[in-house]
Amino acid sequence: MKTFLNLWMPIFLSNTILMLGGLFDTIFLSHFSAQHVTAMAVCVGIYSLVFVSGMGVLQGMMQELAEANGRKAYLELQLIIKQSIIIVLCLSGGAAWLFTHAEPLLNVLRADEEIRALIQPCLVLMALTIPGHFLLRILFIYTQTCGQAKRVFYANTLYLIIKVTLAYGFIFGISVFNIPAYGVKGAFLAHLLAQWLLLVLYYFFFLEKKLSIHWLGEFFNLKILCNILSIGLPTAVVVFIDVFTISAIALLALPLGNVIVNAHQIAMGFCGLLFMLPLSLGATFSILVSTKIGEGRVQEAWHLTGIAMKVAFAVALTASIVVAVFHPYMLPLFSNDKDVLNVVFALVFLLCWMHVFDAMLVVSVNMLRCWKVIVFPMLVYSSMILVFGLGGGWYLAFHPVTWLGRTYDAFNIQGFWIMLCVAYTLAAVICFICLKWKHSKYFKMAQI
């Protein structure tokens, strides 16, 4: 238990701090201009699509690092880090090109000239931010996997202070220093400066000396690179489709008006904050299970897998109950617009439902990945989220439906949320059944 808490608590707090950085941007901009919130929703959707996909690829790095650490293969740790650096530099180049050539996407979205004027400078800032963000995450994963998660927490606390301070100053302006109010552009400028500054500080001051990267010697290793990608690419597909779906909903909801978009953004931001619980649980148990597999303690790894699923369900259910009871006091912190809040309040039950099954899904997928079941969860997740979540949600949001002889009007933004709940529920149940099947198959073979 002590080992779990020493790893989980810093990971959870670190992830929460990162999420708070984005939430503060939303809060600041909601008091600045609804149009700037809309521009931010579009930019964050594009950025998240790229960044989270890259983080999906780096899940392969975390898996390989945990198993190598369990085997005490310290030279292999260095090679894994170096291959990951190669991967993220390639990803950063592609991402920067995408951000600076996003005109076709803006045409598809039919963004008006005012929104385009807000978005385009933010895309350039995003292109400059992404390499530093990726490289910093490599150092964070390396540190966490090797048992020094507290250092990541301390660094992220510093990041939050820097990010929020800069964001407030750049969004609203500081007359004393003749800094104008940049609005949404200021939020991304603060993100750029905070990421690169923290990367330098972390490498030289936070990274433990024994984990220093040895730049001399072998740098490229095709076998390790392929091992990382064999786990990371299917994971990247999963998170890409997940973020694509969430981002697409924000974009497809634009015709519903700024109030609906802002409400959806706040609800998703709050849901994302809750998601830090299962996300950190999945990462923690994944490291612990993979380490035990690397040590050859397979039965203990399976026992820990069962504990992971039980803990994830209990934590998600408790969090959902707390939100259901106390949401009238929590959600007004994110906006003072009564029309926006009324829409958010209407989504609370769906938010709680989705959180429980989203938590079960993310932890079960993490556990399946530890046991080298990678492609099947990708197919299940992708098909459910795209077909039911995005496709079904779009239909319910904009089209009347007939059910049991009764016709219902279009469900507006609730249509998207209803079908997201259905999609996550189906995917979580199927992945859990797959995990149980893998477990029973292992013990049948062990008895032979």
Q: Are residues 169 and 276 in the same domain?
A: no
Using pLDDT thresholds of 50, 70 and 90, give the confidence band for residue 429.
Answer: very high
Q: Can you give the pLDDT at residue 446? A: 59
239 belongs to a structural domain: no
Report yes or no on 165 lying in a domain.
yes
| Range of the structural domain that residue 95 is part of | 1-231
State the pTM of this model: 0.77
Q: Tell me: do 292 and 360 sit in the same domain.
A: yes
The share of the chain scoring above pLDDT 90, in percent, equals 29
pLDDT tens profile 369-402: 888 888 888 889 888 988 898 899 889 888 888 7
Verify that 178 and 221 share a domain, yes or no.
Answer: yes
pLDDT band at 243 (very low <50, low <70, confident <90, very high): confident
Please tell me the predicted confidence (pLDDT) of residue 315.
Answer: 93
Q: Is residue 131 part of a domain?
A: yes
Q: What confidence tier does 200 reach under pLDDT thresholds 50, 70, 90? A: very high
247 or 150: which carries more pLDDT confidence? 150
Same domain for 264 and 381, yes or no, is: yes
Say if residue 336's pLDDT is above 70: yes
Distances (CA, A) of 197 to 48, 98, 200: 21, 24, 5
Asked whether residue 432 carries a pLDDT value surpassing 60, the answer given is yes
Residue 248 lies in a domain: no
Q: Are residues 260 and 153 in the same domain?
A: no
* pLDDT over 90 (residue 190): yes
Predicted confidence (pLDDT) per residue in 121-160, tens digit: 899 999 999 999 999 989 988 988 887 778 888 888 899 8
Give domain status of residue 295, yes or no.
yes
Shared domain for 371 and 274, answered yes or no, is: yes
183 with 276, same domain: the answer is no
- Computed over every residue of the chain, the mean pLDDT equals 85
- Provide the pLDDT for residue 240: 80
Q: Of 231, 263, 283, which one is at a domain's C-terminal end?
A: 231
Q: What is the pLDDT confidence band of residue 85, given thresholds at 50, 70 and 90?
A: very high
Q: Are residues 117 and 188 in the same domain?
A: yes
Shared domain check, 262 and 224: no
Name which of 93-97, 271-275, 395-399 the model is least confident about. Answer: 271-275
Q: Is the pLDDT of residue 234 over 60?
A: yes
Q: Report the range of poorest mean pLDDT among 17-26, 78-87, 147-156.
A: 17-26
Assess whether 224 and 261 both reside in one domain: no
Q: Do residue 48 and residue 121 come from a single domain? A: yes
Q: What is the pLDDT of residue 445?
A: 64
pLDDT of residue 331: 81
Query: In this predicted structure, what is the pLDDT of residue 109?
Result: 63
pLDDT, position 111: 65
- Residue 424 gets the label, from left (phi > 0), alpha (psi -120 to 50) or beta, of alpha
Residues 73, 194, single domain; the answer is: yes
Please report whether residue 237 resides in a domain.
no
Q: Say if 240 falls within a structural domain.
A: no
Calculate ∠ Cα 22-388-249, nearest 5°: 30
Structure-model confidence comparison of residues 178 and 97, the more confident one? 97
